[in-house]
A = this chain, B = another copy of it.
Amino acid sequence: MENPAITRFSGVAEGEWCIVQSQAICGDGLAQAPCLAMTGAATAPAADAVWSLTGVSSNIRYTTATERSRLTSAQAPLGRPEARLAALIPIRKNAAWWELAQDERRQIFEERSRHIRIGMDYLPAIARKLHHCRDTGGPFDFLTWFEFAPEAESDFNKMVDRLRVTEEWRYVEREVDIRLKQLNSRDATL
């Protein structure tokens, strides 16, 4: 029985998203591949996959009801036709982060680093979905998927730059930044 909450991301030879750049921000990068495929977990990675990561959509861990209400009213869904660019950012935090109590992590995450507040500044232009993978045993703790129109690319860069200088990011021990461009049917026939 396939768990519909699980998504598999693979670096493959052919797929709907073309990998424009894959950069190690911190720690080891991922092997270079021309394309990214996004499937359910029951689909085995293609034989030519050079990497494969799965994550599960789960309950929120830090966001309050008030913050969620603000996010929900401002955010755009995935799959907008104009959102032809995407980014997949796998992250692993260090043991010191995971040893912190819930209130200590929340303090760093939002009260001191303004993670949610920074993200809010880029809504609705940047659509986002978080996939968890710490408890499922992969090499990362989170896989965050972002979609945006080409006009929002410089804003996306500003957002990740702002996040990467926060106190929260001192706990990040591995981060890969994969940028993608959608290969739609019109492009494919050119």
Q: Residues of B contacting A136 with CB < 8 Å?
A: 135-136
Give how many A residues have a beta carbon under 8 Å from the other chain's beta carbons: 27
Q: What is the total number of copies of this protein in its complex?
A: 2
CB of A132 within 8 Å of the partner chain:
yes
Nearest B residue to A55 via CB reads B135
Interface residues in A45-71 by Cβ distance below 8 A to B read 56, 58-65, 67-68
Q: In the complex where A59-B98, A135-B56, A135-B136 touch, is A103 in contact with B64 (Cβ < 8 A)?
A: yes
Q: Are B3 and A102 in contact (CB under 8 A)?
A: no
CB of A101 within 8 Å of the partner chain:
yes
- Chain A interface SS verdict (over half): loop
Pick from B58, B61, B65, B102: contact of A64, CB below 8 A: B102
**CA of A98 to CA of B56 in the docked complex: distance in angstroms?**
14
Interface string of A69-86 (1 = CB under 8 A from B): 000000000000000000
**CA of A104 to CA of B132 in the docked complex: distance in angstroms?**
21
Interface residues in A82-106 by Cβ distance below 8 A to B read 98-104, 106
Q: Residues of B contacting A59 with CB < 8 Å?
A: 98-100, 134
Q: In the complex where A68-B101, A101-B68 touch, is A137 in contact with B6 (Cβ < 8 A)?
A: yes
Q: Are A60 and B101 in contact (CB under 8 A)?
A: yes
**CA of A131 to CA of B63 in the docked complex: distance in angstroms?**
23
Q: Are B63 and A101 in contact (CB under 8 A)?
A: yes
Q: Residues of B contacting A106 with CB < 8 Å?
A: 102
* A23 CB, min distance to chain B CBs, angstroms: 26
Q: Are A65 and B101 in contact (CB under 8 A)?
A: yes
Q: Are A101 and B58 in contact (CB under 8 A)?
A: no
Beyond the given pairs A60-B102, A63-B102, 8 more chain A to chain B contacts, judged by CB atoms under 8 angstroms and listed by A's residue number, are: A5-B137, A56-B137, A59-B99, A59-B134, A60-B101, A61-B61, A67-B101, A132-B135
